[in-house]
A and B are shown apart, each in its own frame.
Chain A
């Protein structure tokens, strides 16, 4: 462990503190604003879920959410599937169903053009491996809305709702296809509503 005071400094300590604190604060601020802006301006969609309840040591209690759009049947990919393993992002067009939930109507490995009555959701990047069998298997994707943090112990309530298949999630999606959870409801009654900040 070297002594800081005897090394030649590049910056006066107060300037160093200012630079580091400002940059780190700016990074956190950017993170917050990038999510808050989705909540503020995004288009709202309602999704069906199937949650489970593990525990993350560093981030406390959360419920893992899985959506019906997390598993995409290969027929949805009108542009075909890649032939070789590669790093991909999937774009999914969501359309409103008569029951109020939104479901996938089309999916693609390239960008989809937006339309008035649909929302395009972008998956997180992942490595796609073509299935070796004749019948292609469904493609599992994540959208970055697979976790919902709850105060310690409260995950049980949502878990029970999952067992009753009564959980729905309101999500806001921005123009770039990024999603942010806005509200979780059990049998249509909101239980968690997310503030902007």
Chain B
């Protein structure tokens, strides 16, 4: 006779005696959405002995309300294919830079978009299969179709053939992610989102991108690197709102330096199809002709079709699921992780939330996700990577003065290649405790370098400890341990930069 599983949640009493029999359910956990968060939570829960099912829409590179795929946004139409395209785009700069290093290359180097696209698609198809295998090897039941919550312990799956299957479950986890939003302007149907941008049949010769976030600047770099003429239109003075202002200015300068035309303080008012292409009109009356217009104006949580309010799950005004510190919704048996909760929308954060959820619900170890010192990167060319507080955040939240250390230098490679592009690094330090509160870098390999810096910040490293660390020479990374001279002191509560 198999013993009943003891599933404790933070705050619940252990009222189960060894003779008590739990109510019978088809599953201990039913997960809707097999993206990063859902897959991690499923596998971790199964490892704790839970009987788990996960539901996901049929696979396709371009998502819709009825198409998705195991792996989710990140693997199929997000980080992974995007990074493949970034690698491809970086070669243009490498070819340009190689000449002064003695490489004799023809002036005209051909780029084959179709070949890249085929290889990219092949890779995401492979990864989709890998994720399915990971789930089945963990003992997770995979259900293909559209999942919905119909009760506190009930889920239904609409199968591709139109039939419906009903399941009972002790816990439900919603991990349906987010979707690119479109802008409501005349001619909006002529524009695409990041989904389609990663699977275009033809590479645009002229692209207009609306948005100033990381997706916008990444695609600007990608298409420019592949030879397109790129116009980037955004509302603010600088792109990447929410990042350190000084680093935003660096990214802006680099984009412009690489030949991307910036249109700050503007938005789009109309798109119109003409014989010469798409006629793009800005709110200031500028006219730009384009082959492709990309809306990169943010993403919205995927909750619209779930009808969660009907079962008592509360949403915020953007449609994100409201959760507590343990990822629990307003219905005790229903939980949510990842972009659908709109906390910190990053793949590794969804993974962390999924792990914490499984530990809390099935591992008997109530665990809150820790959002302190989470590193991130913007894969523009060259990339930006950050961890911890920006200068502005540190100044607002700091008790004492904030010490700013910066290093701006011409990377060794550029001294030979002749490329006019500086690398910028920055440390934000609390003057009272000497703790490093934040670090940022814009330059080659920034994300690779920042991962190590993130470990140091997580451990509470001080500026003295950075200074006491021996550098690796010659490298750009060593600048982080040789920033001896204070650039400026910012009194807390009063933002101040030298820009």
Does A pair with B?
no
Interface residues, chain B, with chain A CB atoms under 8 Å away: none
